Structure 1
């Protein structure tokens, strides 16, 4: 079984068209296809968006019984499916079930004139599923016969690929979740850490597919310390889920400036953070005044530098948010930025009139 990459993610949302408007106009995704009852997708409306190698499906249930409707009622808008590209979806499904995954949807084949796509679904974490996808023929087709494709335009692409997904699990479930991805999916543990900040603490473990193209940062709050943002996420999301989506860019300064002009709101960073930045990470190949104006964070590991920034959540429950990340050789997730993000997130929550719940250090590192 060869898990190559993330094929796409699917968000279950209350209003797919409204969500698509935000991701299109603000974040720069393009509408590439849509499907619904008229294309055989019963009781749902799905819109396919893409940017670079990132493909995102937004799905709204049209009946109260549809899985998307039930998901939104419990969790709010959020990532419900992380689809994995494999050589043989049917074979991968059988192997994963043999290893202990719960089979949810058996292999289904979608056939068109120039393409064949096979999908199957197994359990992941919480209510999030993994969809196994194998593609043959025209890779421009998403689900032949079920999603009507729209030609792309020539607009600029600010985002390149999904760098990682940060997954929050309830206290006591981290080790079990790590074992699940190691023993069932064949992922490797590449990093583990216990972090304490401002009276809060959390555990994290990064697991990664053998290809290196699928990375999950698994987070668990330490409830022996005072509650923080992971606790707030678990409460508002009603359980485990994707806390944020890390999107890689080749030019974070241009990407952040462009998205900010379109209305995307980013977490602020204290101006004093930049006073000692180059003393901590070395010379940065970007004007410090520009980084300060945009709020971009910088860290360094043995491989090089990492530039990153986090959006404010666009959801009413203040759960899922985005990270923009530019890797200049760095392979880790920004541990040195923990304190700066902690302060920025406190201000964001206070400004929103909610109880101040501290951010996890992992919001910087992931």
Structure 2
């Protein structure tokens, strides 16, 4: 990776994105039922394209989106093991320089995640995120990527399958504890320079909580507090679901329905159908949210 020139550094200083954040590289699920989750991902348009060299980990992809299913059972007893119900356990952020981003996060109070690198594996720096999740920093995502080192392509499979109906990353929904909005807002602002959107600016059909926008303007985080009798996550903060952007939500919904995906029925309002849609849940809680997005990433 080339080092930025003086002109580049001056340009970067004018932009509130000191990490050079450039979107999401992958989202990782952990589960002891990888085949079942894989079937769900395939219904959503993802395709398995590569396997990890030494662990039970599979890479699924469509368009610009990478999803990892991790079924690896760690030999270290202090590590949490995959459960039947899939859980989002990590999100990897694309950054200009992973080592610099990692050190900056530690300097600002983040907790480091110790790594244990095996032969032929990359050391991808990570910090603790919400719950037991991790936030990785990845700077190899262009011509030479992390997938070229740690993963072996599945023979005869297209490594870059096109996105169904132009689907792309829109964001992640995070459930938080009561009265924790300001804490988590400060966490993402201090470490990554996310900024809060005004309450008048909302997306999709579930306009709850607080929306944070990434400094690269390519994805969002939605922080949702528990609602009595509706969302009960007291003491169980977690990354709950991924949001997928679509230029035309009804078209994307129709394409997914043809593949067997069922959606939570709304009130039939045409305007709401254009704004977004929510799939029914699989495997104890895996859901996907479609959100109208004019961008085509």
Give TM-score, length-normalised by structure 2: 0.79
| Count of matched residue positions in the alignment of Structure 1 and Structure 2 | 269
Does the CA-based 8 Å contact 1:110-1:118 persist in structure 2? Answer: no
Match of 1:143 in 2: 147
1:93 offset after TM fit, Å? 0.8
Partner residue, 1:31: 48
How far has the Cα of 1:64 moved from its partner? 7.4
Task: Compute the displacement of 1:77 (Å).
Answer: 0.9
- For structure 1, list consecutive stretches of 5 or more residues without a partner in the other structure: 196-201, 278-296, 299-305, 330-366
* TM-aligned CA deviation for residue 21 of structure 1: 2.2
* Partner Cα distance (2:117, 2:104) in 1: 16
Question: How many angstroms apart in 2 are the aligned matches of 1:262 and 1:8?
Answer: 23
Higher helix share: 1
Q: Map 1:108-147; keep pairs closer than 5 Å.
A: 119-135=124-140, 138-139=143-144, 141-147=145-151
Match of 1:258 among 255, 268, 287: 255
Alignment partners' CA distance in 2, 1:63 and 1:79 = 17
Q: 1:203 to 1:171 in 2, by over 3 A?
A: farther
**Deviates most, 173-182 or 245-254:** 245-254
Once residues 265 and 115 of structure 2 are traced to their aligned partners in structure 1, the CA distance between those partners, rounded to angstroms, is 45
Among candidates 169, 184, 194, match of residue 162 of structure 1: 169
**1:320 aligned residue (267, 286, 292):** 286
Alignment partner, residue 60 of structure 2: 49
Q: Shift of residue 146 of structure 1?
A: 2.0
DSSP 3-state at the match of 2:81: helix
| Alpha-carbon shift at residue 107 of structure 1 (Å) | 10
Distance 1:252 1:96 in 2: 36
User: Which one of 35, 41, 46 corresponds to residue 17 of structure 1?
Assistant: 35
2:187 equivalent in structure 1 = 180
How far is 1:4 from its partner? 1.4
Distance (whole Å) between structure 1 residues aligned to residue 60 and residue 136 of structure 2: 17
Which residue is 1:221 aligned to?
226
Change (3 A) 1:177 1:136: closer
2:54 aligned to which of 23, 27, 40: 40
Query: Which residue in 2 is equivalent to 1:190?
Result: 197
Instruction: Report how far residue 260 of structure 1 moved.
Output: 1.1
Gaps of 5+ in 2: 1-18
Among 73, 86, 100, which residue is 1:91 paired with?
100
From the superposition, tell whether residues 119 and 206 of structure 1 become closer, same or farther in structure 2 (CA, over 3 Å).
Answer: same
